Amino acid sequence: MTDTSSTPDTRTPAQIEADIKRRRETLAETLDEIGVRVHPKTIVGDAKAKMVSSVDHSLGRAYVGVNRIVGDVKGQFVTEEGAPRLERIVPVALVVVGVVGLLTLGTRRRRA
């Protein structure tokens, strides 16, 4: 801002009025914008948008992580050509069947 106290104002009354009108309009726009920003609906909407963005980001990272794990596990049981690796599948299947069998026996003993 310039210091106008030492220089005389050479504007006409119409120019001064136009300047005042323009500044009032600018001030009104600024106040309207502030009103919109501090309105509860705007604040809630912004908070929701941030939360959705955060959840989307977290879900995206989780999806990538799960995809990586699935790919790693698949790589253990399938060759690069897509053929199953029976030498790895059969022992795992036997362990799973054994664990399920033990759990079934344990459940039957508790009921009896």
106 or 58, higher pLDDT: 58
Task: Name the token pair of 75.
Answer: 């790589």
pLDDT tens digits for 1-34? 555 566 788 899 999 999 999 999 999 999 999 9
Instruction: Give the separation between CA 63 and CA 51, rounded to whole angstroms.
Output: 18
Instruction: Give the separation between CA 46 and CA 33, rounded to whole angstroms.
Output: 15
**CB 63 within 8 Å of CB 72:** no
pLDDT tens digits for 42-59? 999 999 999 999 999 999
DSSP-based three-state secondary structure for 84: strand
pLDDT tens digits for 52-103? 999 999 999 999 999 999 999 988 999 888 899 999 999 999 999 999 999 9
CB within 8 Å of 86: residues ≥ 6 apart = none
What is the model's pLDDT at position 8?
Answer: 80
Is pTM beyond 0.75? Reply is no
What is the model's pLDDT at position 107?
Answer: 82
What is the model's pLDDT at position 108?
Answer: 78
Domain layout of the chain by residue ranges:
13-77, 83-112
Instruction: Give the separation between CA 108 and CA 1, rounded to whole angstroms.
Output: 88
What is the model's pLDDT at position 59?
Answer: 94
Please name the helix (run of DSSP H) or strand (run of DSSP E) that holds residue 92, with its range, or none: helix 86-111
DSSP-based three-state secondary structure for 78: strand
What is the model's pLDDT at position 111?
Answer: 72
